[in-house]
Amino acid sequence: MKIVRTREMEWQNGWDVISMMPDNYKENLGPAEKLEEAYSKYLQKNLSIDLESTFRGDLIDLQPGFADLTDAYHDSVEECFFIAGDCTLSGEQTFYGYHYFWRPPGFIHAATSVTGFKALLFLHGEDPSEGSGRASRVIRPTELAGTNALTADAAAALGPRGWVKIDTETLPWLSEEQFKGMYPELNAFGLNGIEIKILSINPETLAMSALIKIPENFQIQEDFWVRGFRAFVLEGSLKISEQDLDAESWFETSSGEEHQGLSSKTGSLIFAKISAKN
Ligand SMILES: [Fe+2]
């Protein structure tokens, strides 16, 4: 199990990070002379990166007044869970804390924020099952915001999960029984009294992003992970295989990996990316 305890990490400044970005990304951020002003307002802690697929996940903290310099699209799916603050995407809407989007490739957008915002941000990277290409950033004119640069076929543009934009607080929790009934092979968590909100799901592979609410005094014995989990502890804390995971910790497990028990005294809320069925 990989663990990233973000509270023990320093924030990276976006201006420093630009030098590490793929060339096709950094050359497409906007006018070179304005990059420092804009991206010094972009703070991040990296959760996960896969150079092969170009998947990456970051905890980001954008400062008040942040604004992308240009509109752009990605060849990759982009996914975001907002923790707090405000973020307005051109051609879309304003997102606040506990809002979520899964955006298929090609849709043109730019982000601005008045008060700043904190979020989990993912570029999904190359994954044919999700219709997702490599991480990239391609500048397009602002007046095309909200349209798709890659296809004129509106249905095809949506990909398998659709373009999902939701206030997760307006979704009902699924009980353990409801969830087991719908996705019996996903009993990877012991599920003793947990509740779940499915934020986006691939109907072919059942890969999904979800909020999982773990009750107080939760405990399951040693077992193995039926599916891979990549997850962020939003609230409370939990213990997996004797490792304490406080709020703002990230962990990754793979399908078939064993664990030595999972427990939570306080209860916990986690954002989880659950892998496809094998
Ligand atoms: Fe984006």
Token pair in block for residue 228: 């891979």
Q: How far is the CA of 221 from the centre of ligand 1 (A)?
A: 40
Residue 124 to residue 164: CA distance in whole angstroms: 15
Which residues sit with Cβ closer than 5 angstroms to ligand 1, an ion?
78
CA 78 / ligand 1 centre spacing (Å): 6
The helix/strand count (H/E) of the chain reads as 5, 23
Question: For residue range 130-178, what is the model confidence (pLDDT) as tens digits?
Answer: 999 999 999 999 999 999 999 999 999 999 999 999 999 999 999 988 8
For residue range 88-131, what is the model confidence (pLDDT) as tens digits?
Answer: 999 999 999 999 999 999 999 999 999 999 999 999 999 999 99
CA of 156 to the centre of ligand 1 (A): 20
Distances (CA, A) of 41 to 16, 63, 73, 199, 233: 11, 5, 21, 29, 25
Give the distance (Å) from ligand 1 centre to CA of residue 73. Answer: 7
Output the CA–CA distances (angstroms, integers) from residue 242 to 7, 190, 248, 251, 270, in the order listed: 19, 17, 18, 13, 18
* Token pair recorded at residue 131: 């219709």
Q: Is the pTM of this model over 0.85?
A: yes
Q: How many Å lie between the centroid of ligand 1 and the Cα of residue 63?
A: 17
Per CATH, the homologous superfamily of domain 2-167 is: Jelly Rolls (2.60.120.10)
Beta-ladder partners of 118: 61, 84
In the reported structure, the alpha carbon of residue 38 is separated from the centroid of ligand 1 by a whole-number distance in angstroms of 15
Instruction: Give residue 89 CA to ligand 1 midpoint distance, Å.
Output: 9
In 3D space, the residue among 200, 79, 202 whose CA is nearest the CA of residue 131 turns out to be 202
Q: Are both 2-167 and 171-274 of the same fold?
A: yes
Residue 179, helix vs strand vs coil = helix
Task: Tell how far the Cα of 213 is from the centroid of ligand 1, in angstroms.
Answer: 28
Q: What angle do CA 84, 87, 88 make, to 5 degrees?
A: 155
Q: Average model confidence (pLDDT) for the chain?
A: 93
> Which fold is adopted by the domain 171-274?
Jelly Rolls (2.60.120)
Look-up: residue for tokens 């999972």? 262
Q: How far is CA 102 from CA 44, 156, 210, in A?
A: 20, 15, 12
Domain spans in the chain, listed from the N-terminal domain onward? 2-167, 171-274
Output the six-digit token pair for 274: 């659950």
Per-residue confidence (pLDDT) for residue 189, from 0 to 100:
59
Q: Which residue, among 110, 81, 108, has the nearest Cα to 96 in the 3D structure?
A: 81
